[in-house]
Structure 1
Amino acid sequence: MNKVVEPIQQDYRKERERVSYSIFDIETYLKYLAEKGLIWVLKDMDDISGLEKVGIEYYLNKYRTNQIYDNLEENLNNHPSNGQPIVYPHQTIRSKKSEQEDKTKKQQQHFLEVKDVKRFIGYQQAKKLEERIYELCKSFPSFEKKHIVDQIERSSTSIKERIAMGEQRYIGEKFNQYSISIGSAKETSAWLQISLGRKYITQSQYDDLDNLANQVVSILTKTLCHLRDNEGLGMNLPNPYTPDVKKFGAYENALLLVERIYEITRHRGFWQEKTLLYGMRSCATSTVANIAEAHQLYVPVKFRFFNHAIEALSGLEGKLETALMKEIISKDSFEESIRLMESIRNVLAKRMGNLSKSLAS
């Protein structure tokens, strides 16, 4: 089997190198392998990224009935005896790639001039936001150090770092890095809103820093619009505009869930259950953060973060069940929290269904 599997894996590596390891540019390749029943051979590769795994899992599930597992070599070589040479799948893929060669070459002509990122206003504003958040977090309660503080500092740092990583020649990867930066900015705003709800910061501090985060998103969006409409002509680039997460119903309910969980965990029964207490708070706030970060450019990434939010809800449900079993919370509190979680989960499931359709189209 290896003499069939290894060439397919090797061709995948070559294609990935050719498109600068951008998962968004190899999506067609993944779909092709899935349709041919061969995408499962990529799961055993030890050099694929987390984002690649998402794409592989998605197409594996979508085309699971197509997959060829048994007598692989025999199935692949079972062509009619018409005097034609046997064509292996990886050779077929090469032919498919050659059909797109003109388009690929045209895309590869679109390169950018690398500039000093420190002179970019978006980078400067992101750096200012990072510095102010680090200063602000010094006044947070010590018990939030390993939770809200670490998370908001991480997300604010990511905004600046991803902008710096986006200062390169390849336009597609610039879109990728800026998309991550936009997602981090929205996540940072979410942590600020959680902090406001906990009264760790004032309304004035929130408004000031949230406005700064929104400025970064606006600058990055305008930059990407310029690239798409000028240097990126002819390239399949995503829409740079992202929706306002604060108008998303699931996000609003997730913030209510955080308030609910913090209120519940004030009960004295949690004084001896610190692991459960912090676990419940972490799952609730993680739901908010992941919903916020999902509001960026690329569909597979949106899908992944929405899925992380659902995973956080599932973790919270398990911890609530434990608290109920230990009689730390009442049945009414448990059921009220579950109803709120279900409302969030239903909205996310519907949104993920729509995203799946857009991936398949």
Structure 2
Amino acid sequence: MPPDRLNRNDAGGRRLSRQALSTPAQDLKTSLRKVSAGSHGGDPILVDVVFVHGLGGNDVSTWQPDESESPECWLNWLAEDIPSIAVWSLKYPAGATKWTAEGEGMALPDRAANLIPTMLYYGIGSRKTIFVCHSLGGLVVKQILRHSTEMAQPEWQKIAESTLGVAFLATPHSGSSLASILKAVRLSRATKTSLALTAHCPHLKELGDWYRQNVKRLEIETAAYAESRRVRYRFRLATVVNATSANPGVEGCILTSIDADHIDICKPASRETDTYRGVETFIRRQLTRLCDDEISLNEAAKPAPESTLDTQGPQTLDPQERQTLLPAELVQQIREIQAMGDMKLLDPFEVKELKMGILNRHYGVGDE
């Protein structure tokens, strides 16, 4: 049974067993697994999407529904639905107790410093990056971003500089009551990893303050989702991460509650679930941001149009016909806009206006 699988109970909750909080021997290593290389439709890969699991999880079972027998999960669906992304799943030792992990684990700053070279080795930072994090994984990512900006390691800066957005799934930004239970119950013998989640931990407060004060400067967009159902731990039902702790407190980020418990929130069973729709929309929004930024840079670098410009030429062509005249990156932008229209995220008028805006900017045609 995978480490984060749970047992049902008669009370209708979910039971967090000792096995659910364990880290098997095969998980006591760090790796970054490519779920999909993307670009199956011939489009260039623009963004790396990195999934980061939480306490007692791993790179596979954390994201798979408990009842699923398929090796694929929603990470594969995202790669299929958005060809311009490459999807990765990070794995690191995250055992909750000393009975189930070798040694005492790593403290949060040490774990972040341990993971940055692994991500750089696999090329993370060479393209734009989006992180999707469950529980502890969100704290790890915030610490990674902090290290990559503050440590005297120029190579590490690529991680923060490349990051477009972070989506938090039930991340305890101010700690978890469950971690407090693990600390209080001597039999659990909590590791340094699980102690990092302790409610009201001063380090978590400082890390949260740093993130709130720097995401705007780093131009990182934030999304946050909270569990709304309880799980059973030992003899009680409890919310592992309450809404207050799940809220990163970032300006412009509205916490969204999901009809799931702490474990199921990261295991959508279909594309029609709130988690999948929310994360997919978030990723597409970052792609739109990236395209907008590239258009702005191209616009700034473009020479002034000649006075003899034939305004009847470029404007009279149909957008689909003019794609053959465009650079590959602009073709990709038009495809992304059309995809958002197909998903009903934009109405037909907005799709047309955005496409024409790209073409007019490319050809130097202004609104006169």
Alignment TM-score, normalising by the size of structure 1: 0.27
More strand by share: 2
More helix by share: 1
Indicate the structure (1 or 2) with the bigger Cα radius of gyration.
1
Alignment TM-score, normalising by the size of structure 2: 0.27
